[in-house]
Structure 1
């Protein structure tokens, strides 16, 4: 019986090199700014009155204000302003695609300069160098209300933190052994290095009033009906936990696995030298997860890594910045090729992939009949995540309205069931970014607080 997905690769040799040598391949992608560099960069900001960078930030961080604080050597004030809008300001400074958000909106990002203020690095500088003696936010007087949150990822924990600030108690139910969600298990190791994700969770929890219960999964050993009956409100931040299938014969063969499963194993490995590493790898996908997978397996020592996408380069959902990272790390990118067949060796293990060449014809993607074969010891699929339907197997959960496979919500993050809210990747598609999930959680908490308080006030006799 296979204990974990990584066992599908145990026939491969371990990574070459010691744990220390391999760990050196996963240091910060962008080194932090020094105090002098931060001062120089902060001086470049024009502190725009209309602040287009702030409007571009999903969490509404007052960018001009925090940069002004850095310029005035008030690092603590800068950090406080960031965290007030985004309690995950530290991780978002590292993983947020600033090149398509705040930095893209920066007024210095024009043809003459083409160099926006490095907002992400300044945000990291503020958070990393703040001298906060205690948690920067105090809880409001206790309301006596208790809210359940399902999922300890960025959306769920952001919701829990804001609810705690507002005076409510929160119980967070998490299926995994650690909190953090995508930050802990799904982000490239060179983006969130060391134990930063867990330290950020510990900081968030230090506000008090939040309990995390591990090993509880909706639809298995956690009932939405029981939560609904027991708590004053329920927030679902369950993400998208199921890897999409290629739909090909041989997809269960040793040597083929979901990229997110390997990334999780890599992030949790105490000894990187114990990880199985192919000599030749194929990554199927076009998003940031595909890039993360391709770059990391290359850094672990794979000789050849080919990322394959069925459309053209311009249609890839990975940002241009991420694509350049892949190229800089020696990843080959092949476009206009759709998966056709998993190639197996005589023992039934992955030996490569056969693709059919594609092209656009009258606005539609069509297969041309041309074939492409790529030899590989391992194939990683990074073709997106879907909803884990286990959580919707019970009667009450099945009553949640859906938009496609995701949970329908109104503009205040209310689901079709009174008292149940949702946010993050499990709701209607947005950009599926950490920063967006954080904002969902924050706004949902405000809606929950408003609704709970409205009910309480209505219960008092006039």
Structure 2
């Protein structure tokens, strides 16, 4: 969705050269010497807590030992066998609360092993050298439809293809990748990495990607169930919550996810409009990505406002600290009550804030651009209501990602599985679903002619 150029929202805040610097890779690759030094800090723990903290259960001590021994292909095999999107996860995983947060080094010198950087070191090397390949099992005669080409759908499709099944992925966007392509800050995934990883993953064969096709508009769940032996729903949370406040329809008030998508898909960042004074409402990673990218595009001031305390924010401490270093101001315990307009354009936002004495005070912040990052919801178009949880905002699944409908599985953000909306958890959901689908086929699998 294009951002309307109203009020003081405009492109060309910074030059092309300045933007190239601002949106450069924030975590560049380790060189071999640095990687060897980082690997040497690992204790190769028995029953390693870092492995237990990884949703995809990558054998972290094993791949780090192999990096230390110079065996990058072996390290990449360890990673990608457990997580076929290990390259993206190395870039976007909140390692500070997962593997690195569990590292025993934290209790010794307060600095964990650089697991994320080492994972990227191995997977990037493997992609650059086309070093890791899988051999597909003989064609099983089974066909599976995967709806959604995000992390869950891609992981499921890859595992099913390895097992010899034919997979067709349908996605409503023009390109596959899901949030990896459209929903993550541009400075985290430079050089079109989401598409390069997608092409590597599909190179196994047996997977067909059909884009621009939406469930409920271009195809139905009933048709897919008739045409295929199994269906995996990985449709994400495509809806955006609204605050339902006065002035929310003013020009300059927009969804943070739309803003992030526009930045990600821009061929020329100088063409992306941004305000001078930006307010981002929300406390998650989407809010941080929107706030930081506003600063990087040239906004003079960016304020992130959250209705609860810091301890309740879903953005990790590392994300919050990164935003602070980038010049983003954080205000907590402040709830928006109305948007104030001038000539149809947002001019300020009024908040209620908890005062020191427990009372309520009013706070008004001027703004020409307001980005709403207050959560996303399931778009249930094309879904049977029997599939949904009681609140209607997720698809109900069991421990094997099976839904209440025969031969229909679901995973990723759209499913009520772990309750963790992370790329790495979506990958694990896709793996679990693929294993369950493959097991369902096993007793009566059709042999190749």
TM-score (norm 1): 0.93
Provide Cα deviations, 1:130-150, integer angstroms capped at 9, x if missing partner: 364465111011101110000
Q: Which runs of 5+ in 2 are unaligned?
A: none
CA gap of 1:9–1:226, structure 2 versus 1, over 3 A, is farther
- Partner of residue 409, structure 1: 397
Deviation of 1:129 (Å) = 1.6
Q: Quick check: 2:76–2:132 contact (8 Å CA) kept in 1?
A: no
* Inter-CA distance 421–9: structure 2 relative to 1 (3 Å threshold): farther
Superposed CA offset, 1:381-433 (max 9, x none): 001111113233xxxx2331424210000111000001000000001152200
Does residue 1:374 correspond to 2:361, yes or no? no
How far off is 1:312 after superposition? 1.2
Aligned 8 A contact 1:135 1:207 in 2: no
Work out the CA distance in 2 between the residues paired with 1:344 and 1:449. 56
Q: Is the 8 A contact 1:285 1:307 kept in 2?
A: yes
Verify: 1:384 aligned to 2:381, yes or no.
no
Aligned length: 444
- Structure 2: distance between partners of 1:277 and 1:42: 41
SS at match of 2:185: coil
Whether the 8 Å contact between 1:311 and 1:359 is mirrored in structure 2 is no
Query: 1:293-442 alignment to 2 at 5 Å?
Result: 293-345=290-342, 347-358=343-354, 368-392=359-383, 397-404=384-391, 405-428=393-416, 430-442=419-431
> Cα 1:134–1:145, aligned 2, differ >3 Å: closer, same or farther?
farther
CA RMSD of aligned residues (A): 1.8
Q: Deviations over 1:160-184 (max 9, x none)?
A: 0000000000000000000000110
Q: Deviations over 1:304-360 (max 9, x none)?
A: 100001111122111000000010011010111101001101x11111100011379
Distance 1:316 1:359 in 2: 19
Q: Secondary structure at the match of 1:79?
A: helix
Q: Is the 8 A contact 2:251 2:344 kept in 1?
A: yes
After superposition, the Cα gap between the structure-2 partners of 1:403 and 1:113, relative to the gap in structure 1 and judged at 3 Å, is farther
Q: Is the 8 A contact 1:92 1:434 kept in 2?
A: yes
Aligned to 2:201: 204
SS at match of 1:109: helix
- The Cα of 1:9 is off from its aligned counterpart by 5.3
Q: 1:81 maps to which residue?
A: 78
Asked if residue 172 in structure 1 is aligned to residue 161 in structure 2, the reply is: no
SS in 2 for 1:343: strand
Deviates more, 1:22-31 or 1:435-444: 22-31
CA separation in 2, counterparts of 1:306 and 1:225?
46
d(CA) in 1 for partners of 2:22, 2:350: 31
Partner of 2:64: 67
1:47-88 residue CA offsets vs partner (Å, 9 max, x unmatched): 111111111110010000000000110001100110000010
Out of 20, 45, 50, which is 2:42 matched to? 45
Structure 1, residues 79-114: CA drift from partner, whole Å, max 9, x if none?
A: 01100000100010010000001011111111x400
Unmatched 5+ residue regions in structure 1? none
Aligned-partner Cα distance in 2 for 1:28–1:5: 25
Q: 2: distance between equivalents of 1:132 and 1:451?
A: 36
Query: What is the distance in 2 between the residues matched to 1:78 and 1:307?
Result: 39
Describe how 1:178-257 pairs up with structure 2 within 5 A.
178-257=175-254
How far apart, CA to CA, are the structure 1 residues paired with 2:17 and 2:205? 37
Return the offset for 1:217. Answer: 0.8
Q: 1:175, 1:9 → 2: CA distance?
A: 29
TM-score normalised by structure 2 residue count = 0.96
State the shift of 1:11 in Å.
6.5
